[in-house]
Chain A
Amino acid sequence: MAVLGQEMGRTKGAGVIELENISYSYGGGELLSDVSLQLQPGSFHFLTGPSGAGKTTLLKLCYGALLPTSGRLSAFGEDIARLDRDQMALLRRRIGVVHQDCRFLDHMTLSENVALPLMVSGRGDSDERNDLTELLGWVGLGARLEAHPPELSGGERQRAALARAVILSPDVVLADEPTGNVDWEMSQRLLRLLIELNRMGKTVLIATHDLSLIRAAKSQVQARVLRISQRRLQLAGADL
């Protein structure tokens, strides 16, 4: 898997993403309060909590879509607040994101959507096109290259979103409710793909309210489970 494995030798050390005493407010209300988190290279995390607890907000903070109201947020050793817009774009290429609603460009084909990160980073030569085909085969969509997003099922869309998130071989994969719209079998398949990515050295953070998914994962991978409760982040107990 050339695409996924090409940057495995990257130097590891400090936390790839670090949140120090982060608070985030919106519309006068505080959504997150004094949150600290360090994602170590190659680690696997679940982030859980009830709907509206702030899981998506925390994920958005992690990839720079939101900036904290207070506290320090750094990625790959860089203080995100100090990055200009171009540097922020480069940072996002090192963080793959899978959204629950996938967010595809409906007028483009599946292969074009998955290749979007290659395109925006000025890559996409013939070798990488071959890697794209290989990657889509890896997520089981090798036969759907020319399909358009509205033609795909929920599971296919999620797998395509995962393929798009990892095509640039990012250091970190963030997934927001990746199994929210798929059946149990498909959620297990997606989980296996995420675990496989983690075994390739990627740091994985999955936000989910699906506790059965977390239980299923714990037998396959060493994962930390974090819970957001009352605007604060805490390590989940052994009840999971």
Chain B
Amino acid sequence: MSSSDIRALLRPDTRADRVVPPTGFTAQLTLFVSGAMAFLAVFALALSLASGRLADRWASELAGAATLRISAPAEQRAAQTEAALVVLQQTPGVASARALTNEEQAALLSPWFGPDLPLDTLPVPQLIEIIEGAPGLDAAGLRLRLGAEVPGAVLDDHGRWREPLVDAARSLRRLGWISILLIGGATAAMITLAANASLAANAQIIEVLRQVGARDRFIAGAFVRRFTFRALFGAAVGTLLGMSGVLLLPEASDAGGFLTGLGFQGAGWVLPAFIPLLGAAVAFLATWSAARRKLKELS
């Protein structure tokens, strides 16, 4: 079907549209299904976009950093720290490396041990923050060298716990998109059923139209327009309600974590506007296909 055919089919024709009776359960069904599915699609889209943002943030924030932990007896800790810093300065892919101060280490532990932790009296390992640079850190090579020169050093490139988190966030994003596809499929199936029911219920009208010389395109067009515009309206209402629900969600905050970030940001707010258009396109294709099939059956 060419674009001009689609335009011709969708061009409003109030007189031709009158041939399909304006009421019936299929009207309510189409409105309800398209509205409900659009509502769900807004949340699936919000979930998918939020998961994507989370995956990107975790991937980018943690990917450029690593931590070196010096676990050595207290009398060797300073020497091994110094040796480790020398090794790091000579290592390609390390942009900078610095030992955390006692205050910084105490601040890291304070959520668990409180602010007055006597760090000097505890065997707390010394942490060294490593910022990666070009051409990237060869973690395996660095571990080998540190093993030889700094026996108490343990390199943590964050990969062990970063990758599962990023994978989980990406899986959540995929699930969001799969949900949207399933919603589209379910909408198509329901509208196809409604269109079939409407065509069957109006078989006598179709017979009359045929008898007076109507082409299949005219008959199908009347049904396609009816279902497409009804789905567009239902989906627009569902989308507005869904976006209102998203607006009422709490704003993103560090304290709330992922759940409070479940909304749209920036240009993301434009994306739900495409849901009614997609719903209408799905309805158009479903009704056109059902009408062609049914008209062949009825001939």
Contact = CB atoms under 8 A, between A and B. Distances in A.
Pair from one complex: yes
A120 B299 contact: no
Contact of B22 (A65, A86, A89, A107): A107
Contact of A103 (B16, B19, B204, B299): B204
Nearest to B202: A105
B158 to A, nearest CB: 67
B214 interface: yes
Interface in B187-229: 204-205, 207-218
B213 A89 contact: yes
Contacts of A85: 215-216, 299
A164 B212 contact: yes
Contact of B205 (A63, A89, A92, A105): A105
Interface stretch (A50-58, A111-119, A198-206): A111-119
Contact of A116 (B208, B216, B299): B208
A159 interface: no
Contacts of B160: none
A120 B214 contact: yes
Interface in A160-180: 164, 168
A8 interface: no
Determine the main DSSP class of B at the interface with A: helix
Contacts of B21: 105, 107
A90 B211 contact: no
A93 B213 contact: yes
Contacts of B208: 103-105, 116
A114 to B, nearest CB: 10
A11 to B, nearest CB: 21
A116 B212 contact: yes
A81 interface: no
Nearest to B16: A119
Contacts of B213: 89-90, 92-93, 117, 120-121, 168
A108 interface: yes
A112 B215 contact: no
A214 to B, nearest CB: 25
A135 interface: no
B233 to A, nearest CB: 21
B15 interface: yes
A124 interface: yes
B258 to A, nearest CB: 53
A172 B244 CA distance: 61
Contacts of B15: 112, 119, 124
A103 B217 CA distance: 21
A65 B215 contact: no
Contacts of A168: 213
B212 A120 contact: yes
B7 interface: no
Contacts of B218: 120
Contacts of B299: 85
Given A103-B204, A120-B218, A63 B19 contact: no
Among A65, A104, A116, A164, the one with the most B-chain Cβ atoms within 10 Å of its Cβ is A116
Nearest to B213: A93
A105 B219 CA distance: 14
Contacts of B18: 107-108, 112
Nearest to A117: B212
A104 B212 CA distance: 11
Contacts of B216: 85-86, 89
A61 to B, nearest CB: 14
A164 B15 CA distance: 16
Among B21, B207, B210, the one with the most A-chain Cβ atoms within 10 Å of its Cβ is B210
Contacts of A93: 212-213
A101 to B, nearest CB: 10
Contacts of A108: 18-19
A136 interface: no
Interface string B224-246: 00000000000000000000000
A120 B19 CA distance: 10
Interface of B: 15-16, 18-19, 21-22, 204-205, 207-218, 299
Given A108-B19, A168-B213, 7 more contacts: A85-B215, A86-B217, A92-B210, A104-B208, A107-B18, A117-B212, A120-B214
Interface of A: 63, 65, 85-86, 89-90, 92-93, 97, 103-105, 107-108, 112, 116-117, 119-121, 124, 164, 168
